[in-house]
Amino acid sequence: MSLIHASAVIEDGAILGNNVSVGPFAYIGANVKIGDNTTVAPHAVIEGHTTIGKNNRIFSHSAVGTIPQDLKYNGEHVELIIGDNNTIREFTLLNPGTEGGGSITKIGNGNLLMGYVHLGHDVIIGDNCILANGATLAGHVELGNHVVIGGLTPIHQFVHIGDYAMIGGASALSQDIPPFCLAEGNRANLRGLNLTGLRRHMAREEINALKKAYRELFEEGNPLQEVAQTIIESTSSEKVKQLCEFIMTSKRGIPFTRTKMNEDKK
């Protein structure tokens, strides 16, 4: 039995790997490349210079690779690159890059993009991230690995979110969130470490080192970048160095107030 439904439209020039399934009324443009064992559900649209890896699932009414929502875009060659083992749910909107942002939007491996997620132009996403329903990333946003974004959360352009960070649902984020941290609220503010996520992936010793560093950075009232530099020079923990280096290089600043972590987050 053919894996390509008779009503699907696949333009000449499109390249489909082995065992690719395309459902009824789906559209695949001439410059699209799709890797092995990927499924494209009914009514999905994939166009532009879009490259998709292996074992992805693209659900109904997704719009993948449509031109950037940027008034400066004037038909330049831009790309959307998607890795392997991603799940892209219904009504997602994924735009390619723009000339001013490097011309590439890139999604890594093993990510879950739930319904109505939007990734703007020049967004970069690492591996194993979860974006809940209605999460909206403006242009040039960058996520590390294992990031969780709660539902109905908009993220301002150029924001950078580090590895293992979590943003609560219905937040509004306009500044950078360091790795391993939890933020929520409108506007979003640091609330502590993302301990639930850390416990799934890290040893207790690393978590304890991050707790100590967090307190020194955000609770003791000293200048943030000075504290970060001091910690970098004294710690042997690579995770703590990663946290502090993120702070040192942040361009949009870190949203926090001098309050202690809640007891249930310690």
> Hey, which residues are catalytic here?
121-122, 139
The conformation of residue 110, written as its DSSP 8-state character, comes to S
Name the amino acid, one letter, at 117. Answer: V
Distance between CA atoms of 57 and 100, rounded to whole angstroms? 30
Q: Which of 161, 116, 111, 118 is nearest to 136 (CA)?
A: 118
Query: What are the backbone dihedrals phi and psi of residue 211, each rounded to the nearest 5 degrees, phi first?
Result: -60, -45
- Alpha carbon of residue 132 to chain centroid: 11
Structure-block tokens of residue 136: 């909206």
Find where tokens 């000449």 sit: 12
Name the amino acid, one letter, at 67. Answer: I
Distance between CA atoms of 264 and 251, rounded to whole angstroms? 31
Strands 181-184 and 189-193: antiparallel
Handedness of CA 228, 234, 237, 241 (dihedral sign): positive
Spell out a b/e string for 107-141, using b for 16 or more CB atoms within 10 Å of the CB, else e.
bbbbbbbbbbbbbbbbbbbbbbbbbbbbbbbbbbb
